[in-house]
Protein backbone atom coordinates (compact mmCIF):
# COMPACT_ATOMS: atom_id res chain seq x y z
CA UNK A 1 0.00 0.00 0.00
CA UNK A 2 1.39 3.41 -0.86
CA UNK A 3 1.74 6.10 1.81
CA UNK A 4 -0.74 8.25 -0.12
CA UNK A 5 -3.43 5.62 0.13
CA UNK A 6 -2.65 4.98 3.76
CA UNK A 7 -3.16 8.62 4.65
CA UNK A 8 -6.38 8.69 2.67
CA UNK A 9 -7.79 5.66 4.43
CA UNK A 10 -6.85 6.92 7.86
CA UNK A 11 -4.92 3.90 9.04
CA UNK A 12 -2.46 4.34 11.88
CA UNK A 13 1.20 3.81 11.15
CA UNK A 14 1.74 0.59 12.97
CA UNK A 15 3.34 -2.61 11.79
CA UNK A 16 5.22 -5.36 13.56
CA UNK A 17 8.52 -4.96 15.33
CA UNK A 18 9.89 -7.82 13.29
CA UNK A 19 9.20 -6.02 10.04
CA UNK A 20 11.05 -2.98 11.28
CA UNK A 21 14.28 -4.74 11.93
CA UNK A 22 14.67 -5.26 8.21
CA UNK A 23 14.93 -1.51 7.54
CA UNK A 24 18.26 -0.04 6.52
CA UNK A 25 19.70 2.52 8.91
CA UNK A 26 21.98 5.27 7.82
CA UNK A 27 21.26 8.14 10.21
CA UNK A 28 24.50 8.75 12.07
CA UNK A 29 25.39 5.23 13.08
CA UNK A 30 24.00 1.75 12.49
CA UNK A 31 20.74 0.72 14.12
CA UNK A 32 21.38 -1.40 17.17
CA UNK A 33 18.41 -3.61 18.15
CA UNK A 34 19.58 -3.71 21.77
CA UNK A 35 19.47 0.09 22.16
CA UNK A 36 16.01 1.46 22.98
CA UNK A 37 16.96 5.15 23.00
CA UNK A 38 14.89 7.54 20.89
CA UNK A 39 17.88 8.30 18.69
CA UNK A 40 18.52 4.66 17.94
CA UNK A 41 14.87 3.84 17.34
CA UNK A 42 14.73 6.81 14.94
CA UNK A 43 17.51 5.21 12.93
CA UNK A 44 15.15 2.47 11.82
CA UNK A 45 13.40 5.11 9.76
CA UNK A 46 16.42 7.32 8.99
CA UNK A 47 14.65 9.85 11.16
CA UNK A 48 16.77 12.14 13.32
CA UNK A 49 15.37 12.77 16.79
CA UNK A 50 16.56 16.02 18.32
CA UNK A 51 16.42 18.40 21.24
CA UNK A 52 17.09 22.06 21.85
CA UNK A 53 20.04 22.42 24.20
CA UNK A 54 20.35 24.90 27.04
CA UNK A 55 24.12 25.46 27.31
CA UNK A 56 23.97 26.42 30.99
CA UNK A 57 22.30 23.10 31.78
CA UNK A 58 24.72 21.19 29.55
CA UNK A 59 27.65 22.67 31.47
CA UNK A 60 26.19 22.30 34.94
CA UNK A 61 28.52 19.88 36.69
CA UNK A 62 25.93 19.43 39.44
CA UNK A 63 23.40 18.13 36.91
CA UNK A 64 25.18 15.43 34.87
CA UNK A 65 21.94 13.70 33.88
CA UNK A 66 21.08 16.52 31.46
CA UNK A 67 24.28 16.00 29.47
CA UNK A 68 23.93 12.21 29.57
CA UNK A 69 20.42 12.33 28.14
CA UNK A 70 21.26 14.84 25.40
CA UNK A 71 24.04 12.51 24.30
CA UNK A 72 22.22 9.22 24.62
CA UNK A 73 18.67 10.01 23.44
CA UNK A 74 19.17 12.40 20.55
CA UNK A 75 20.82 12.29 17.13
CA UNK A 76 20.47 16.00 16.38
CA UNK A 77 20.78 19.11 18.55
CA UNK A 78 19.70 22.74 18.24
CA UNK A 79 21.10 25.63 20.28
CA UNK A 80 18.17 26.96 22.30
CA UNK A 81 19.73 30.44 22.47
CA UNK A 82 23.46 30.63 21.76
CA UNK A 83 23.26 30.97 17.97
CA UNK A 84 20.83 33.88 18.14
CA UNK A 85 22.05 37.30 17.08
CA UNK A 86 22.23 38.83 20.59
CA UNK A 87 24.44 35.92 21.69
CA UNK A 88 26.71 35.73 18.65
CA UNK A 89 27.22 39.46 18.07
CA UNK A 90 26.44 41.26 21.33
CA UNK A 91 28.69 44.14 20.26
CA UNK A 92 28.71 45.33 16.67
CA UNK A 93 31.40 43.51 14.72
CA UNK A 94 32.58 41.43 17.69
CA UNK A 95 31.48 37.83 17.64
CA UNK A 96 31.39 35.42 20.55
CA UNK A 97 31.52 31.97 19.02
CA UNK A 98 32.54 30.06 22.14
CA UNK A 99 29.20 28.67 23.44
CA UNK A 100 27.98 27.68 19.97
CA UNK A 101 31.32 26.10 19.07
CA UNK A 102 31.17 24.19 22.32
CA UNK A 103 27.79 22.75 21.35
CA UNK A 104 29.13 21.81 17.93
CA UNK A 105 32.09 20.03 19.53
CA UNK A 106 29.68 18.17 21.82
CA UNK A 107 27.58 17.18 18.79
CA UNK A 108 30.62 15.94 16.93
CA UNK A 109 31.76 13.89 19.92
CA UNK A 110 28.33 12.31 20.14
CA UNK A 111 27.81 11.77 16.45
CA UNK A 112 24.92 14.23 16.25
CA UNK A 113 23.81 16.50 13.46
CA UNK A 114 23.16 20.18 14.17
CA UNK A 115 20.21 22.37 13.28
CA UNK A 116 21.41 25.98 13.13
CA UNK A 117 18.96 28.32 14.88
CA UNK A 118 18.58 31.11 13.83
CA UNK A 119 19.85 33.57 11.22
CA UNK A 120 17.00 36.09 10.87
CA UNK A 121 14.41 36.66 13.59
CA UNK A 122 12.83 39.72 15.16
CA UNK A 123 13.48 38.53 18.74
CA UNK A 124 16.72 38.39 20.69
CA UNK A 125 18.39 41.00 18.51
CA UNK A 126 21.29 42.91 20.09
CA UNK A 127 20.55 46.33 21.58
CA UNK A 128 23.08 48.09 19.32
CA UNK A 129 21.06 46.99 16.28
CA UNK A 130 17.54 47.83 17.42
CA UNK A 131 18.63 51.09 19.09
CA UNK A 132 20.63 52.12 16.02
CA UNK A 133 17.60 51.67 13.80
CA UNK A 134 15.31 53.46 16.26
CA UNK A 135 17.53 56.49 16.68
CA UNK A 136 18.27 56.72 12.95
CA UNK A 137 22.01 56.09 13.26
CA UNK A 138 21.54 52.94 11.14
CA UNK A 139 19.91 53.70 7.78
CA UNK A 140 17.81 51.24 5.77
CA UNK A 141 20.67 50.67 3.36
CA UNK A 142 23.09 50.06 6.22
CA UNK A 143 20.61 47.70 7.86
CA UNK A 144 20.48 45.54 4.73
CA UNK A 145 24.30 45.44 4.68
CA UNK A 146 24.37 44.54 8.37
CA UNK A 147 21.96 41.65 7.75
CA UNK A 148 23.96 40.39 4.78
CA UNK A 149 27.20 40.60 6.78
CA UNK A 150 25.71 38.82 9.75
CA UNK A 151 24.32 35.95 7.69
CA UNK A 152 27.51 35.61 5.68
CA UNK A 153 29.81 35.72 8.71
CA UNK A 154 27.75 33.29 10.77
CA UNK A 155 27.09 30.76 8.01
CA UNK A 156 30.75 30.82 6.95
CA UNK A 157 31.94 30.34 10.51
CA UNK A 158 29.83 27.20 10.91
CA UNK A 159 30.22 26.05 7.30
CA UNK A 160 30.23 22.28 6.88
CA UNK A 161 29.03 21.71 10.44
CA UNK A 162 25.35 22.62 10.10
CA UNK A 163 22.85 20.19 8.61
CA UNK A 164 19.78 22.46 8.53
CA UNK A 165 19.73 26.23 9.04
CA UNK A 166 16.64 28.06 10.22
CA UNK A 167 17.34 30.95 7.88
CA UNK A 168 14.18 32.95 8.56
CA UNK A 169 12.06 32.41 11.66
CA UNK A 170 8.49 33.46 12.45
CA UNK A 171 8.09 36.07 9.72
CA UNK A 172 4.31 35.71 9.47
CA UNK A 173 1.69 37.20 11.79
CA UNK A 174 -1.12 35.31 13.55
CA UNK A 175 -4.86 35.89 13.19
CA UNK A 176 -4.94 37.51 16.66
CA UNK A 177 -2.36 40.14 15.65
CA UNK A 178 -3.41 43.50 14.33
CA UNK A 179 -4.36 43.76 11.54
CA UNK A 180 -5.89 40.28 11.70
CA UNK A 181 -5.34 39.63 8.00
CA UNK A 182 -2.12 37.63 7.86
CA UNK A 183 0.91 39.63 6.87
CA UNK A 184 4.71 39.74 7.17
CA UNK A 185 5.37 40.98 10.69
CA UNK A 186 8.21 42.23 12.83
CA UNK A 187 11.41 44.23 12.73
CA UNK A 188 12.79 43.02 9.40
CA UNK A 189 9.60 43.32 7.35
CA UNK A 190 8.96 46.71 8.91
CA UNK A 191 12.38 48.09 8.04
CA UNK A 192 13.38 46.21 4.88
CA UNK A 193 10.08 44.98 3.44
CA UNK A 194 9.33 41.28 2.80
CA UNK A 195 12.10 40.94 0.21
CA UNK A 196 14.54 40.40 3.06
CA UNK A 197 13.32 36.79 3.11
CA UNK A 198 14.53 35.95 -0.42
CA UNK A 199 17.76 37.89 0.22
CA UNK A 200 18.44 35.96 3.42
CA UNK A 201 18.16 32.58 1.69
CA UNK A 202 20.41 33.70 -1.18
CA UNK A 203 23.07 35.06 1.18
CA UNK A 204 22.97 31.89 3.28
CA UNK A 205 23.33 29.70 0.21
CA UNK A 206 26.29 31.76 -1.05
CA UNK A 207 28.02 31.21 2.30
CA UNK A 208 27.40 27.45 2.53
CA UNK A 209 26.35 25.53 -0.57
CA UNK A 210 25.70 22.32 1.37
CA UNK A 211 23.52 23.22 4.36
CA UNK A 212 19.78 22.71 3.99
CA UNK A 213 18.02 26.07 4.25
CA UNK A 214 14.71 26.18 6.16
CA UNK A 215 11.90 28.61 6.82
CA UNK A 216 10.70 27.96 10.41
CA UNK A 217 7.41 28.92 12.07
CA UNK A 218 4.74 27.95 14.62
CA UNK A 219 1.03 27.30 14.08
CA UNK A 220 1.66 25.74 10.69
CA UNK A 221 1.12 22.11 11.72
CA UNK A 222 -2.04 21.75 9.60
CA UNK A 223 -4.01 23.66 6.98
CA UNK A 224 -7.12 25.59 8.01
CA UNK A 225 -9.56 27.44 5.80
CA UNK A 226 -7.18 27.52 2.83
CA UNK A 227 -7.52 31.30 2.70
CA UNK A 228 -4.08 32.93 3.14
CA UNK A 229 -5.81 35.86 4.84
CA UNK A 230 -6.48 33.74 7.93
CA UNK A 231 -4.79 30.36 7.35
CA UNK A 232 -1.16 30.72 8.39
CA UNK A 233 -0.16 27.37 6.91
CA UNK A 234 -1.61 28.43 3.56
CA UNK A 235 0.18 31.79 3.81
CA UNK A 236 3.52 30.03 4.44
CA UNK A 237 2.81 27.52 1.67
CA UNK A 238 2.13 30.34 -0.81
CA UNK A 239 5.26 32.15 0.37
CA UNK A 240 7.41 29.06 -0.16
CA UNK A 241 5.88 28.48 -3.57
CA UNK A 242 6.62 32.08 -4.58
CA UNK A 243 10.18 31.85 -3.32
CA UNK A 244 10.71 28.69 -5.36
CA UNK A 245 9.20 30.38 -8.43
CA UNK A 246 11.83 33.12 -7.99
CA UNK A 247 14.52 30.43 -7.77
CA UNK A 248 15.26 31.29 -4.15
CA UNK A 249 17.30 28.44 -2.57
CA UNK A 250 14.85 27.32 0.12
CA UNK A 251 15.12 23.58 0.90
CA UNK A 252 12.64 23.04 3.69
CA UNK A 253 9.91 24.24 5.99
CA UNK A 254 10.22 23.70 9.73
CA UNK A 255 7.03 23.32 11.69
CA UNK A 256 7.81 24.22 15.28
CA UNK A 257 5.07 22.22 17.00
CA UNK A 258 4.46 24.30 20.13
CA UNK A 259 1.11 22.90 21.22
CA UNK A 260 -1.05 23.14 24.35
CA UNK A 261 -3.41 20.55 25.77
CA UNK A 262 -6.09 23.21 26.35
CA UNK A 263 -6.51 23.68 22.60
CA UNK A 264 -8.23 21.57 19.95
CA UNK A 265 -5.00 20.86 18.08
CA UNK A 266 -4.94 18.34 15.24
CA UNK A 267 -5.09 14.68 14.31
CA UNK A 268 -2.42 12.71 12.50
CA UNK A 269 -4.19 12.82 9.16
CA UNK A 270 -4.39 16.62 9.13
CA UNK A 271 -0.72 17.00 10.02
CA UNK A 272 0.40 14.32 7.55
CA UNK A 273 -1.62 16.07 4.83
CA UNK A 274 0.19 19.35 5.53
CA UNK A 275 3.64 17.74 5.41
CA UNK A 276 2.74 16.02 2.17
CA UNK A 277 1.61 19.29 0.62
CA UNK A 278 4.91 21.00 1.44
CA UNK A 279 6.76 17.96 0.11
CA UNK A 280 4.73 18.39 -3.08
CA UNK A 281 6.59 21.66 -3.63
CA UNK A 282 9.87 19.73 -3.53
CA UNK A 283 10.65 20.81 0.03
CA UNK A 284 11.87 18.81 2.99
CA UNK A 285 10.03 19.24 6.27
CA UNK A 286 10.94 18.87 9.93
CA UNK A 287 9.37 19.31 13.33
CA UNK A 288 11.75 21.72 14.95
CA UNK A 289 10.56 22.80 18.42
CA UNK A 290 7.97 20.34 19.68
CA UNK A 291 6.53 20.70 23.15
CA UNK A 292 2.99 20.31 24.46
CA UNK A 293 2.23 22.43 27.51
CA UNK A 294 -0.67 22.36 29.97
CA UNK A 295 -2.33 24.83 32.27
CA UNK A 296 -1.12 24.43 35.83
CA UNK A 297 -4.21 24.80 38.00
CA UNK A 298 -3.97 24.86 41.76
CA UNK A 299 -5.02 21.20 41.81
CA UNK A 300 -2.20 20.31 39.41
CA UNK A 301 0.28 22.18 41.55
CA UNK A 302 -1.04 20.32 44.60
CA UNK A 303 -0.43 16.96 42.93
CA UNK A 304 -4.08 16.04 42.19
CA UNK A 305 -3.86 13.02 39.89
CA UNK A 306 -7.41 13.62 38.60
CA UNK A 307 -6.08 16.77 36.96
CA UNK A 308 -2.53 15.63 36.23
CA UNK A 309 -3.29 12.37 34.41
CA UNK A 310 -5.47 13.83 31.64
CA UNK A 311 -2.78 16.45 30.98
CA UNK A 312 -0.04 13.83 30.73
CA UNK A 313 -2.18 11.80 28.34
CA UNK A 314 -3.22 14.73 26.19
CA UNK A 315 0.36 15.95 25.97
CA UNK A 316 1.57 12.49 24.96
CA UNK A 317 -1.20 12.17 22.34
CA UNK A 318 -0.14 15.44 20.71
CA UNK A 319 3.54 14.43 20.57
CA UNK A 320 2.40 11.21 18.96
CA UNK A 321 0.22 12.96 16.36
CA UNK A 322 3.19 15.01 15.16
CA UNK A 323 5.62 12.11 15.26
CA UNK A 324 3.32 9.70 13.39
CA UNK A 325 2.72 12.33 10.69
CA UNK A 326 6.47 12.89 10.37
CA UNK A 327 7.12 9.16 10.15
CA UNK A 328 4.49 8.84 7.44
CA UNK A 329 6.03 11.45 5.15
CA UNK A 330 9.42 10.45 3.84
CA UNK A 331 10.48 14.08 3.34
CA UNK A 332 10.15 14.79 7.07
CA UNK A 333 13.81 14.60 8.07
CA UNK A 334 13.89 15.28 11.79
CA UNK A 335 11.75 15.55 14.90
CA UNK A 336 13.19 17.94 17.47
CA UNK A 337 11.75 18.64 20.91
CA UNK A 338 12.23 22.11 22.41
CA UNK A 339 14.02 20.92 25.50
CA UNK A 340 13.36 17.44 26.83
CA UNK A 341 12.88 17.98 30.56
CA UNK A 342 10.41 20.09 32.53
CA UNK A 343 13.45 21.08 34.61
CA UNK A 344 14.68 23.31 31.78
CA UNK A 345 11.80 24.67 29.74
CA UNK A 346 10.95 28.10 28.36
CA UNK A 347 7.23 27.45 29.02
CA UNK A 348 6.80 28.42 32.72
CA UNK A 349 8.99 31.51 32.21
CA UNK A 350 6.99 32.62 29.21
CA UNK A 351 3.41 31.69 30.13
CA UNK A 352 3.55 31.83 33.93
CA UNK A 353 0.81 29.35 34.73
CA UNK A 354 1.62 26.71 32.11
CA UNK A 355 4.13 23.88 32.16
CA UNK A 356 4.53 20.07 32.00
CA UNK A 357 5.41 20.52 28.32
CA UNK A 358 8.33 18.11 27.92
CA UNK A 359 8.88 14.38 27.60
CA UNK A 360 10.78 13.98 30.91
CA UNK A 361 9.63 15.44 34.20
CA UNK A 362 11.72 17.73 36.42
CA UNK A 363 13.49 14.72 37.94
CA UNK A 364 14.37 13.26 34.54
CA UNK A 365 11.73 10.56 34.77
CA UNK A 366 10.39 9.74 31.30
CA UNK A 367 6.73 10.72 30.99
CA UNK A 368 3.91 9.14 29.04
CA UNK A 369 4.89 11.30 26.04
CA UNK A 370 8.35 9.73 26.00
CA UNK A 371 6.92 6.22 26.08
CA UNK A 372 4.39 6.99 23.37
CA UNK A 373 7.10 8.44 21.12
CA UNK A 374 9.12 5.33 21.72
CA UNK A 375 6.16 3.09 20.87
CA UNK A 376 5.54 5.04 17.67
CA UNK A 377 9.16 4.57 16.66
CA UNK A 378 9.13 0.88 17.55
CA UNK A 379 5.85 -0.18 16.01
CA UNK A 380 5.84 1.94 12.87
CA UNK A 381 7.29 0.20 9.87
CA UNK A 382 6.88 -0.80 6.28
CA UNK A 383 4.76 -0.60 4.25
CA UNK A 384 3.33 2.48 5.99
CA UNK A 385 6.62 4.00 7.08
CA UNK A 386 9.67 3.91 4.86
CA UNK A 387 13.13 5.47 5.19
CA UNK A 388 13.53 9.19 4.60
CA UNK A 389 14.25 10.74 1.22
CA UNK A 390 17.31 12.95 1.66
CA UNK A 391 16.92 16.53 0.48
CA UNK A 392 19.51 17.99 -1.89
CA UNK A 393 20.45 21.63 -1.26
CA UNK A 394 18.84 23.75 -3.97
CA UNK A 395 21.16 26.00 -5.96
Binding site for ligand G3I (CB under 6 A): 80-81, 123-124, 169, 256, 289, 346, 350
Q: Out of 80, 89, 170, 221, pick the active-site residue.
A: 170
Nearest CB to ligand G3I, comparing residues 27 and 53: 53
Cβ atoms 48, 332 nearer than 8 A: no
Cβ atoms 250, 216 nearer than 8 A: no
Nearest CB to ligand G3I, comparing residues 80 and 342: 80
HSE, side-chain direction, 13 A CA sphere, residue 287: 34
Q: How far is the CB of 339 from ligand G3I (least distance, A)?
A: 7
CA dist., res. 148 & res. 213, Å (int): 16
SS3 73: helix
Closest CA to 252 of 158, 50, 389: 389
Cβ atoms 195, 148 nearer than 8 A: no
Nearest CB to ligand G3I, comparing residues 268 and 358: 358
Q: How far is the CB of 216 from ligand G3I (least distance, A)?
A: 7
CA dist., res. 33 & res. 53, Å (int): 27
Nearest CB to ligand G3I, comparing residues 83 and 308: 83
Closest CA to 255 of 211, 212, 281, 290: 290
Nearest CB to ligand G3I, comparing residues 335 and 346: 346
Angle subtended by helix axes 268-280 and 305-328, to nearest 10: 30
Q: Residue 312's CB: how many other CB atoms inside 10 A?
A: 17
Nearest CB to ligand G3I, comparing residues 80 and 208: 80
Q: Out of 80, 89, 221, 289, pick the active-site residue.
A: 289
> Measured in whole angstroms, how far is the alpha carbon of residue 204 from the centre of its chain?
18
Q: How far is the CB of 256 from ligand G3I (least distance, A)?
A: 6
Residue number with the shortest CB distance to ligand G3I? 346
To the query of whether residue 134 is one of the catalytic residues in this protein, the response is no
CA dist., res. 130 & res. 79, Å (int): 23
Q: How far is the CB of 353 from ligand G3I (least distance, A)?
A: 16
Q: What's the longest Cα–Cα distance across the chain?
A: 65
Closest CA to 268 of 224, 335, 319: 319
Q: How far is the CB of 63 from ligand G3I (least distance, A)?
A: 16
Name the helix (H) or strand (E) containing 235. helix 232-245
Q: How far is the CB of 189 from ligand G3I (least distance, A)?
A: 17
Nearest CB to ligand G3I, comparing residues 160 and 352: 352
Q: What Cα–Cα distance (Å) separates residue 223 from each residue in 5, 36, 389? A: 19, 34, 23
Q: How far is the CB of 126 from ligand G3I (least distance, A)?
A: 11
Q: What angle do CA 353, 359, 73 make, to 5 degrees?
A: 145
To the query of whether residue 307 is one of the catalytic residues in this protein, the response is no
Residues annotated as part of the active site: 170, 289
Amino acid sequence: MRIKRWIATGAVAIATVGALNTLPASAGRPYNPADQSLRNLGLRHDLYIGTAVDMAALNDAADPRYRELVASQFSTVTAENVMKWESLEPTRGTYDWAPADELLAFAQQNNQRVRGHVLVWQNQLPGWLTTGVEDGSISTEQLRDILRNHITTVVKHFKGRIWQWDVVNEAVSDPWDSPSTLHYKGFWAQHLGPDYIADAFRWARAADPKALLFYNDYNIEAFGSGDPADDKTQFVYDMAKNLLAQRVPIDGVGSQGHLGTQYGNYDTLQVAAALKKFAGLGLATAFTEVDVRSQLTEAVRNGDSNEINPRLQASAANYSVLLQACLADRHCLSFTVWGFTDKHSWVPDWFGNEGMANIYDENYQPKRAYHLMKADLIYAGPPYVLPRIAQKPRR
